[in-house]
Structure 1
Amino acid sequence: MTTFPTERAVRTTPEGLLWEPSARWVRGRRGEVTVVDSRHPVLVWEPGVPVPLYAFPREDVREDLLRPARNPATGTHTGSRVFYDLELDGELVENAAWTFPAADLAGHISFEWVDRVGRGLDHWYEEEEEIFIHPRDPHKRVDAMASSRHVRVEIDGTLVADTVRPVLLFETALPTRFYIPREDVRTELLVPTDHHTGCPYKGTADYWSLRDAAAVPANIVWSYPDPLPAVHPIKDLLCFYNEAADITVDGETLERPVTPFTRGLSAQTPR
């Protein structure tokens, strides 16, 4: 009889790493070459890093493509001292892979993701679906739900959105985001930017700044023109950083949350 765990099967190492086996079939490629192909990957969370990465059994990795790193990127991963360069078709990708010192992860190799740090493997797949930026956390939910709440958004004292038909996006460990139809946004106050970000749960976002508002952080508004199927209701709707806007919901003004995005917004150069 097959049994299933009733609690998170997460282990902790003395180095502070969290890890657990994954049942997903994962492949990582560089260009057209498959460098890792594993049905037994391990998810690893480093201390202070909110998103996971994968580690793979050595037998699932093309170790013939790895070389001892010429300039090891020590200090970039928890306790790691062994780094590898990836040599492929005459190209050398420095510090594309590494091993963790934890005994629990002995015999496993991790890889960088180009979408995340600019080097490593550039295409990743879970089963037959391509994924981006980092592995999806199995303990995280992202739900997009249509609502009839009355949402008003003010930025620097100016009303920029007013709607009773938002889509609320609930994402574990982040504040509720309010996605608003463009018809309910004063889009004449916005100017598009060339900034884009990727999210493994939602897709690729376009951004806007508030026009002629020097005290307001840039890229305060975003939208997903082609979101992933799981959050399709947010398609083409506009969302505002709660961290830098004043949002009122059903007459109650929300406190500005402090999140991993707060520092980046505060550090942006006024326009």
Structure 2
Amino acid sequence: MADTSDNLAKLAQKLASEGPHKIEPTPRRVRALFGGKYVLDTTKAYHVWEHPYYPQFYVPVSAITNDANLTKNSSVPSTSDKVHFGTVSVGSKKTERVLVFNTKDLKDLVKIDFAALDQWFEEDVPIYQHPKDPYKRIDILTSTRPVKVELDGVTLAESSNPLFLLETSLRTRYYLPPTSVNWELLSKSDSETYCPYKGRANYYNVTVNGKEYKDFVWYYQYPTAESAQVVGHLCFYNEKVDIWVDGVKEER
């Protein structure tokens, strides 16, 4: 809890002194479940970019439902009473990962840490990890440019029909059919991550020349509808392996 409080305090201090990187209202209906109840429900949420990379949802105080209680607690140090810690509770369940703002840009808005609640929704669609950036898109393109993947001189995969996944502001990722991979070198990992654009990712470790490399490969068994093409395909970290595209080696 101390680490979380420290992080929230630092965020509050930054926003109180500098303001957000960007803020925009969103017409989406935003709801969130906590303890089996909807604790917030609003069509007046904001996308708030705390940093340049992706937004979070901030909601007006009025978004807190009658099933929940919002308590404004002590002022965050070094914010001149512009930001307070808060508590959201439903019955005996509560979270203190809450900030209540009274700054120029964020007046009467509440941030509840995304991971603190059980499930968020945009309209009726569950969202994971963080809200989608409305200015980001994903294109998944079929290609006949061959892709070869190596590590420490050993070929991990080679395909003449890869999928190129292009995501705004990120490097191209290459998703290869499972039949193009050298499975003798892969072992399942227990790791999981979530992407709001692609869904839940599972991982494989790679063992080459007697050395194991953790989580060098990921795949989506049940991707989101917008990324359905990559289902079952494997993607190797460009930054950690050697990749040739149409015979040209990429820089890591």
Same fold (TM over 0.5): yes
Does the 8 Å CA contact 2:174/2:236 hold for their aligned counterparts? Answer: yes
State which drifts further: 147-156 or 196-205: 147-156
Does residue 166 of structure 2 align to residue 164 of structure 1?
A: no
Shift of 1:224: 0.1
State which drifts further: 57-66 or 175-184: 57-66
| Match among 47, 53, 56 for residue 56 of structure 2 | 53
Does the 8 Å CA contact 2:59/2:110 hold for their aligned counterparts? Answer: yes
Shift of 1:126: 0.6
SS state of the match for residue 227, structure 2?
helix
Cα distance between partner residues in 2 of 1:93 and 1:213: 48
Partner of 2:184: 188
Q: 4+ residue runs of structure 1 moved beyond 6 angstroms?
A: 72-75
Partner of 1:235: 231
How big is the alpha-carbon RMSD for the aligned residues of Structure 1 and Structure 2?
A: 2.5
SS state of the match for residue 239, structure 1?
strand
Shift of 1:107: 1.4
Cα distance between partner residues in 2 of 1:227 and 1:57: 32
Q: Per residue, is there more strand in 1 or in 2?
A: 2
TM-score (norm 1): 0.80
Shift of 1:215: 5.7
Partner of 1:111: 112
Amino acid at match of 1:83: F
Q: Which runs of 5+ in 2 are unaligned?
A: 1-14
Cα distance between partner residues in 1 of 2:108 and 2:122: 21
Shift of 1:100: 3.7
Cα distance between partner residues in 2 of 1:39 and 1:162: 48
TM-score (norm 2): 0.85
Does the 8 Å CA contact 1:14/1:102 hold for their aligned counterparts? Answer: no
Partner of 1:5: none
Residues 251-266 of structure 1: matches in 2 within 5 Å?
251-256=247-252
Q: Which runs of 5+ in 1 are unaligned?
A: 1-11, 115-119, 257-271
Shift of 1:213: 5.5
Cα distance between partner residues in 2 of 1:228 and 1:249: 27
Partner of 2:7: none
Does residue 41 of structure 2 align to residue 37 of structure 1?
A: yes
Does the 8 Å CA contact 2:164/2:175 hold for their aligned counterparts? Answer: yes
Cα distance between partner residues in 1 of 2:76 and 2:37: 24
Partner of 1:204: 200
Matched residue count: 235
